Amino acid sequence: MPQDSTVPPEGVFVPVPTFFKTSPASPSALQAALDVPAQCQHSIHLAKNGVRGLVLLGSTGEAIHLSRAERFELISGVRDGLTKAGFPDYPIMAGVLTNSVDEALEWLGDAKKADAQWGLVLAPGYFGNAANQENLLEWYTLVADLSPLPILIYNYPGVTNNIMIGLDTYTKLAAHPNIVGCKMSHGNVSHHVQVSLDPTINHTKFRVYSGFGQQLGPIVLFGAAGVIDGLAAIYPRAVSRLFELAAKRPVTPEALQTMQTWQFIVSRAEEMIGKWGIVGIKEGVYRELSIGNLQGGRLPLKGSMPEGEWAKWAVALDAMKKLELSVD
């Protein structure tokens, strides 16, 4: 499929957790400071191991727990680290998690100055279904009209009072020249498939990503561009190889069987991510990659998994580790 330079590449993106040090930056600070060196170390590891791009400061990145200055510091710091490591144009989406049009544009302006290429803009769901489809269409259109970056629609009902972007709304927004894709972080596979296969959408200019690696094989087989997946923060090569298996054409019986085997292992491990979220991802990155610490996120997400909890997932995670080590 031809690649438009303004459109994110197909493949696996990682919603990167934000790393924090174990102590505040100053005596007056209330929470632990950003750990930009750890952030860069992890981002470079992902870039070297099959991941096609990063989502910085999305939901997993705790953007709502950071100040404006911290958000800029993190994006610009990672960009600088990637450039010094030999990845100067590595794809970065910046999360935009605010309900105000003016603030969304402020976040997008800052992201552009920090050298992100796209904004991943969360649906404004504070008021839930009171935000009807007509108003969502107008909200996204206004943001896209004025955004200095191309944007993607981010539909995550779990953090937006169960608001869902309608299929007709996707079709209309996909025609906007500054809207280049969407991320659906929900279990409605039919929506992923319908938007991915909609014949009225130009799929060279509008890409569909899932937020769940559990859906990777099925949705990529039916036209989706890939996933933005938390498990890949820990096992990037394995999840990226599953994408390659699903994207390769033609799909031979042997390839399908291999894909099914890998998808089962990935889906089983994703259960840990589903239960423990940011805390589980950070624990996995620390245990498997020796990056970060076991402090977790900022309040109210501070802390680690309970003692013995990681061991309960040994069967699933050991299988993932075996896949990870099997990829050249």
* Residue 88 CB coordination number (10 Å): 11
Nearest to 266 by CA among 306, 218, 232, 300: 232
Would you call 275 a catalytic residue per the annotation? no
- Residue 45 has φ and ψ, to the nearest 5°, of -60, -45
Task: Report residue 74 CA to chain centroid gap.
Answer: 16
CB atoms within 10 A of CB 23: 11
35: which 2 tokens?
């750990």
The two three-digit tokens of residue 157, written as one number: 């009902």
Say how many residues make up the chain.
328
Q: HEC profile for 160-188? A: CCCCCCCHHHHHHHHCCCCEEEEEECCCC
Task: Using alpha carbons, list the distances in angstroms from residue 243 to 12, 13, 221, 312.
Answer: 7, 11, 10, 27
Q: Which residues of 122-134 are buried (b: 16+ CB within 10 A; e: fewer)?
A: bbbbeeeeebebe
**Which listed residue (84, 112, 183, 322) is catalytic?**
183
CA distances from 157 to 56, 178, 248 (A): 19, 23, 31
Catalytic (active-site) positions: 183
